[in-house]
Amino acid sequence: MTSQSASAVLTEDMRKKLLQPDLISGSEMLLRSLLLEGVDTVFGYPGGAVLYIYDAMHGNKDFHHLLTRHEQGAIHAADGYARATGKVGVCIATSGPGATNLVTGIATAYMDSVPLVVITGNVPTSLIGTDAFQEADITGITMPITKHSYLVRDVSDLPRTIREAFHIASTGRKGPVLIDIPKDVSAAKAVFHYPEHVVIRGYNPTVSPNKLQIDRLLQAIEKAERPVILAGGGVVYSDAQQELIAFAEKTRVPVITTLLGLGGFPSGHELWVGMPGMHGNYASNNAIMECDLLISIGARFDDRVTMKLDGFAPKATIAHIDIDPAEIGKNVPTDIPCVGDIKAVLGVALANAKPARSAEWLKQIKAWNELHPFQYKDSETELKPQYVIEMISETTNGDAIITADVGQHQMWVAQFYKFKNARSLITSGGLGTMGHGFPAAMGAQVGCPDKLVVAITGDGGFQMCSQELAVCAIHNIPLKIAIINNQVLGMVRQWQKIIYKERYSHIDLGGSPDFVKLAEAYGVKGLRATNKAEARQAWQEALNTPGPVLIDFVVRKEENVYPMVTAGSSLSEMILGDAE
Amino acid sequence: MLTKHTISILVNNQPGVLQRVAGLFGRRGFNIESITVGASEEPGLSRMVVVTVGDERTLEQISKQLYKLVDVIKVVDLSANPMVARELALIQVNAEPGQRPEILGVVETFRASIVDIGPNTLIVQAVGDSDKIDAIVELLKPYGIRELTRTGATAMIRGISK
């Protein structure tokens, strides 16, 4: 890969040099500020309103700019970079269509609390509001999907704005922050002053927990006979996996991980129950329905987890640990609230934690898991998608970074890949954005050049951003793309089968390109597999190939994801499926 | 139980802050009965007063969601305390010379005032809580209201309860 991390080279001397109070342009201020924030990689796409910024980048070797083939690719890549590394992802786009092409990616990051700083150009301040060429009110458009946003009208405000944006994006409940820079502001000059400290009067996230709240939680655990932890993406974002393991082991409370929580607690662990919700496992959903204490940790009671709210955890006292106080009581009334950073909360809680009386309960959960594990009927003639996921899981031993796009394959990844490590699953959970998986994998690979990154995607989702193959080819980004190709919009087909009485409407993806040839056209190695033997061979070849490889796994079209709880049903109403 | 709440929101006086606050109410499905904005006691900060209808849980969510906005400094549920709430209305009413004494009677009773006199109209200015404004509007209706404009409530907690 030609893109290597550059942040390590920011020495104290360089820092001092960057901090010099020179008279420089807004564009140069932006680049200096990014370097001071430790940014080594930006994903972007130039255009009229950001030309001063791109001009300032000319010849700049201090950080890397990856030119994607669509702004959507740039923002999803920045998102994947941020999720994989824990750092703030940065992308740049021009005004108008460049900026609006970011909207889906900003909303994706917002729903999943991903720290991004999104820089857009805008028309010169004198033209703002005149419906000028390529003008869009991007701060207005993105207000509901950003943690905060800025329209910079004065160049001297720019360094402080960038400093604040990085602070807001990466602290508290993380999220995307947008900075809109009019063209004249990026051209204007002022004396560079980068503030050392950030003081924002209206922004003070509660990080340290309240001791009384933790005491109440610990008392409830001590009394509980059927407790369960529901661990979400917050555990991953807070880097609290070790604390969660220690806490679960000390309290003997079993752990259910949501889609974004996968990897936040190792799936092989004796206290791991599974994933809950619409396509969750039998044991997890039963455990939620039967538990007497449910401890949500960094999970926000999404409707794909709770299903019908009325019937959710009907016998349980609800405890909720979250950095965002607004999540507490938003969907599910909470008995024991606990606001704070999860790593900090669990750290404090660990000291005095005592075990629950959960021995019988753990046996019950184990029995449920043995009764109905995730399963499928394997086939020697047709390739089953679940087999492909299991194969990737076994060969990578949970050490790869997996991105899943959205749809059936995403749920099979969640069900059949054994996640051991935090930040090893990257997928659009909240917004369910098709097209996110592949460019996110690209970003993850750029951020983690030494890791094996596998983009597991569908033939539908892949085609929403397949143009980014060019970026993989030109930078030799060595990710492996596994297309689970069933030639239909599989999850839509499944809903049309089960809920819409097999009236299959506009789901046939016939007319898709030959993905092997498509890859080759971009200069990426392409392979195809239509049965188990070919699948194993192709996958091995992909692993042995140093650069990017695409594998078209042609799988059984009619396969469905089970268990399934249909929308509007309660978690106890699982369709277990017929293991087709 | 659905009740009326008057919420005071201290915000940074930044462009777009009204859009942020109003947009939050809109997209989360919170009700806005009225919203007023103006300067506060501190330069650079504005105060918004929002009258909303909702249950306790909704009110808690409104407050928590508002606090997530970086430009929001303080949120207070004024109606949880003894408070003073005032609204201003300008009412242009048909007033032929013969009817004016009658209308003036209404205006004096409500301690409102006449702020403009036209050949056959009057503009009545009324200040008070919403109920009082409703009442004067109701009494002026028979004369024919040509135009009516109301500000929505602005409010403050009474000194005795601070």
Q: In a mutagenesis test of the A interface, which of B28, B48, B70 is the best target, namely the one with the most A β-carbons within 10 Å?
A: B70
Angle at A39 between CA A33 and CA A43, to 5 degrees: 110
For testing the chain B interface, which of A128, A143, A154, A160 should be mutated: the one with the most B CBs within 10 Å?
A143
Asked if B60 reaches chain A (Cβ–Cβ under 8 Å), the answer is yes
- Half-sphere exposure at residue A179, Cβ-oriented, CA atoms within 13 angstroms: 33
Q: Distance between CA atoms of A257 and A228, rounded to whole angstroms?
A: 10
Q: Is residue A57 flagged as an active site residue?
A: no
* ipTM of the complex model: 0.93
Strand partners for B11: B46, B72
Over the stretch A309-365, which tens digit does the pLDDT of each residue have?
988 999 999 999 999 999 999 999 999 999 999 999 999 999 999 999 999 999 999
**What are the C-alpha distances in Å from A240 to residues A247, A297, A322, A423?**
10, 10, 12, 11
Q: How many CB pairs under 8 A join A and B?
A: 43
- Output the pLDDT for position A9: 61
The percentage of residues in chain A with a pLDDT greater than 70, rounded to a whole number, is 98
In the block, residue with structure tokens 């509980």: A224
pLDDT beyond 80 at A469: yes
Whether the pLDDT of residue A6 is over 60: the answer is: no
Give residue A342's Cα distance to chain centre.
Answer: 18
Whole-angstrom Cα distance, residue B153 to residue B63? Answer: 18
In chain B, whose CA is at the least distance from the CA of A333? B57
Using the Cβ of B64 and the Cβ atoms of chain A, whether some distance falls under 8 Å is answered with: yes
Task: Give residue A544's region: left, alpha or beta (phi > 0; psi -120 to 50).
Answer: alpha
Active site (annotated) includes residue A71 = yes
Residue A151: closest CA among chain B residues belongs to which residue?
A: B15
Beta carbons of A333 and B57 less than 8 Å apart: yes
Burial class (CB in 10 A: 0-12, 13-18, 19+), A129: exposed
Is A183 catalytic? The answer is yes
Contacts of residue B70 in chain A, CB cutoff 8 Å? 147-148, 168, 200, 202-203
Active-site residue, from A57, A391, A491, A564: A491
Query: B60 and A324 in contact by Cβ < 8 A?
Result: no
| Cis ω before A266 (30° cut-off from 0) | no
Q: In this complex, is the C-beta atom of B33 within 8 Å of any C-beta atom belonging to chain A?
A: no
Question: Using beta carbons and an 8 Å cutoff, which residues of A are at the interface with B?
Answer: 139-140, 143-144, 147-148, 151, 168, 200-203, 324-326, 328-330, 333
Rounded to an integer, the average pLDDT of A130-139 is 97
pLDDT at A7 exceeding the cut of 90? no
Q: Does B57 touch chain A (CB under 8 A)?
A: yes
Mean pLDDT, range A191-210, rounded to an integer? 95
Q: Do A326 and B61 touch (CB under 8 A)?
A: yes
Tell me: pLDDT of A500 over 50: yes
Least confident range from A37-41, A95-99, A440-444: namely: A37-41
- Across the interface, which of A151, A326, A329 has its CB nearest the CB of B57? A329
Round to whole Å and give the CA distance between A467 and A518.
10
Q: Which of A139, A201, A330 sits opposite B61 (nearest CB)?
A: A330
Q: Nearest Cβ partner of A144 from B12, B27, B57?
A: B27
- A20 counts as catalytic: no
pLDDT of A579 reads 54
CB contact under 8 A, B12 and A201: yes
Task: Verify whether the Cβ–Cβ distance A202 to B16 is below 8 Å.
Answer: no
Mutation site for A-interface testing, chosen from B58, B68, B69, B72 by largest number of A Cβ within 10 Å: B68
CA distance A238 to A516: 39
pLDDT in tens, A67-114: 999 999 999 999 999 999 999 999 999 999 999 999 999 999 999 999
Digit-coded pLDDT (tens) for A531-576: 999 999 999 999 999 999 999 999 999 999 999 999 999 999 999 9
Residue A253 DSSP SS3: coil
Report the greatest alpha carbon distance in chain A. 71
E strand or H helix that includes residue A296:
strand A293-297
Retrieve residue A212's tokens: 């009384």
- Return the closest-CA partner of residue A137 out of B66, B38, B15, B11: B15
Q: For residue A11, what pLDDT band results from cuts at 50, 70 and 90? A: confident
Active site residue A380: no
Q: Hey, of A160, A201, A324, A332, which one would you mutate to test binding to chain B, going by the most B CBs within 10 A of its CB?
A: A201
From its phi and psi, is residue A326 left (phi > 0), alpha (psi between -120 and 50) or beta? alpha
Name every chain A residue with its beta carbon within 8 A of the beta carbon of B16.
Answer: 139-140, 143, 151
A4, pLDDT greater than 80: no
Average pLDDT across chain A, whole number: 96
Closest partner residue to B70 among A148, A151, A324, by Cβ?
Answer: A148
State the average pLDDT over residues B33-61: 96
**Residue B123 distance to chain A (closest CA, Å):** 36
Answer positive or negative: Cα dihedral of A324, A329, A332, A338.
positive
Tokens of A7: 């942040």
Shortest distance, CA B47 to any CA of chain A (angstroms): 14
Chain A residue at shortest CA distance from B56: A329
- Span A145-187, pLDDT tens digits: 999 999 999 999 999 999 999 999 999 999 999 999 999 999 9
B161 pLDDT higher than 90: no
Distance of CA A88 to the CA centre of its chain: 13
CB contact under 8 A, A330 and B12: no
Q: Is there a contact between A325 and B67 if contact means CB atoms under 8 Å apart?
A: yes
Point out the residue among B11, B27, B70 whose CB comes nearest to the CB of A168: B70
The per-residue pLDDT for range A368-417, each reduced to its tens digit, is: 999 999 999 999 899 999 999 999 999 999 999 999 999 999 999 999 99
DSSP category for residue A210: P
Q: What are phi and psi of A66, to 5 degrees?
A: -100, 120
Look at residue B94 in the predicted model and tell me its pLDDT.
Answer: 97
Q: What is the pLDDT of residue A62?
A: 84
Closest Cβ opposite residue B71 in set A202, A325, A329? A202
Nearest to B59 by CA among B130, B119, B1: B1
Residues in chain A closer than 8 A to B57 (CB atoms): 329, 333
* Cβ <8 Å between B60 and A329: yes
Q: Which of A4, A133, A354, A517 is catalytic?
A: A133
Considering only CB atoms, which chain B residues are within 8 Å of A151? 15-16
Chain A residues within an 8 Å CB radius of B12? 201-202
Given pLDDT bands bounded at 50, 70 and 90, which one contains residue A215? very high
Q: Characterize A68-100 residue by residue with b for buried, 16 or more Cβ atoms within 10 angstroms of its Cβ, and e for exposed.
A: bbbbbbbbbbbbbbbbbbbbbbbbbbbbbebbb
Q: Are B138 and B132 in contact (CB under 8 A)?
A: no
Determine whether the interchain pair A203/B70 forms a contact, defined as Cβ–Cβ distance below 8 Å.
yes
Report the pLDDT value the prediction gives residue B160, as an integer from 0 to 100. 81
For residue range A248-289, list pLDDT tens digits in order: 999 999 999 999 999 999 999 999 999 999 999 999 999 999
| Chain A neighbors of B19, CB-CB under 8 A | 140, 143
Measured in angstroms, the CA of A143 and the nearest CA of chain B are apart by 7
Q: pTM of the predicted model, to two decimals?
A: 0.96
Tens digit of each residue's pLDDT (9 = 90 or more) over B98-138 = 999 999 999 999 999 999 999 999 999 999 999 999 999 99
Q: What is the C-alpha separation between A258 and B52, in angstroms, rounded?
A: 35
Q: Count CB atoms within 10 A of the CB of residue A458.
A: 28
The CA distance from B17 to the nearest CA of chain A, in Å, is 10
Phi, psi of A490 (to 5 degrees): -60, -45
